[in-house]
């Protein structure tokens, strides 16, 4: 088939669909605030945030767990999908990132339904397991990729049967297929894939994506009832 002009321009295609994705004013403001605050440009793209929002809404999620807050961009997309008594618990290592996120939650009027937990996520997750925290309906895993396998293991202890786990950045421009890749983040993804493959309690797929964030992808796993 002959290629049309711009057929490989992933950014142009994302922009074409922007009005359809339609982030609200507070979600847009959160993106601006994290850029102004000098945070790294590693948040999900608007269409990916909308996907998280739709997954949360479609599954009727009331309790959402997020690992990796940054400036709260994905958190806001998720919080906007929750019922009035819903909550997002979001875990962040860097207090400066957490501060930017909290300001955005205040501005968006969702601060009363978002708990930001500052510290290493593994320790925060272990504390939640120990405390017998009420089970979550959906988890979005988007922090240090080296720990993806232990994060998924902790999610299994913290999510209810039937819940969803979304894990971002698992394709890494195709590097994931290279068993000898020197990047520890790639090796972290590979260890998670080993854990997920044939797991008796998880049903999983992976979808590759292209767009403003380049070539990557996400894993979607359901905790089996
Ligand atoms: C990719 S960003 C999260 C982006 C955010 N989910 C979004 O899309 O808007 C990853 C975040 O995880 C945080 N992080 C890295 N290592 C962590 C750890 N061990 N525990 C908790 N957070 C961590 C980083 O500081 C960073 O803010």
Element spanning 11, H or E: helix 10-16
CA distance 148 to 166: 11
CA distance 208 to 28: 25
Q: Structure pTM?
A: 0.97
CA distance 50 to 22: 8
Residue 221's SS3 state is strand
pLDDT at 21 over 80: yes
Are the beta carbons of 59 and 137 closer than 8 angstroms?
yes
pLDDT, tens digit, for every residue of 58-97?
A: 999 999 999 999 999 999 999 999 999 999 999 999 999 9
| Look-up of token digits 């982030």 | 23
Domain ranges of the chain: 7-223
CA distance 97 to 99: 5
CB atoms inside a 10 Å sphere around CB 21: 16
Pocket test for ligand 1, best of 78, 143, 170, 172 (most atoms within 8 A of CB): 143
CA distance 11 to 1: 22
Atom of ligand 1 nearest to the CA of 72: 9
Pocket test for ligand 1, best of 28, 49, 70 (most atoms within 8 A of CB): 70
pLDDT, tens digit, for every residue of 190-219?
A: 999 999 999 999 999 999 999 999 999 999
Q: Give the class (CATH, top level) of 7-223.
A: alpha beta
Report CA torsion sign: 151, 162, 52, 63.
Answer: negative
CA distance 188 to 172: 11
């Amino acid at each position: 088939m002959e290629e049309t002009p711009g057929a490989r321009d992933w950014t142009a295609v994302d922009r074409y669909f922007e009005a359809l994705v339609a982030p609200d004013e507070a979600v847009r403001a959160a993106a601006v605030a994290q850029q102004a605050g000098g945070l790294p440009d590693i948040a999900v793209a608007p269409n990916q945030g909308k996907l998280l929002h739709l997954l949360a809404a479609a599954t009727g999620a009331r309790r959402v767990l997020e690992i990796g807050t940054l400036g709260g961009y994905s958190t806001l997309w998720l919080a906007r999908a929750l019922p009035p008594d819903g909550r997002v618990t979001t875990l962040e290592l860097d207090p400066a990132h957490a501060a930017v996120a909290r300001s955005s939650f205040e501005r968006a009027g969702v601060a009363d339904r978002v708990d930001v937990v500052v510290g290493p996520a593994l320790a925060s997750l272990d504390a939640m397991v120990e405390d017998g925290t009420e089970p979550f309906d959906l988890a979005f895993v988007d922090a240090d990729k080296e720990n993806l396998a232990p994060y998924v293991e902790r999610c299994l202890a913290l999510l209810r049967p039937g819940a969803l786990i979304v894990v971002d950045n698992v394709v890494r421009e195709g590097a994931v297929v290279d068993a000898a890749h020197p990047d520890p983040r790639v090796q972290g993804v590979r260890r998670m894939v080993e854990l997920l493959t044939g797991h008796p309690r998880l049903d999983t797929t992976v979808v590759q994506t292209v767009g403003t964030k380049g070539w990557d992808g996400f894993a979607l796993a359901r905790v089996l009832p």
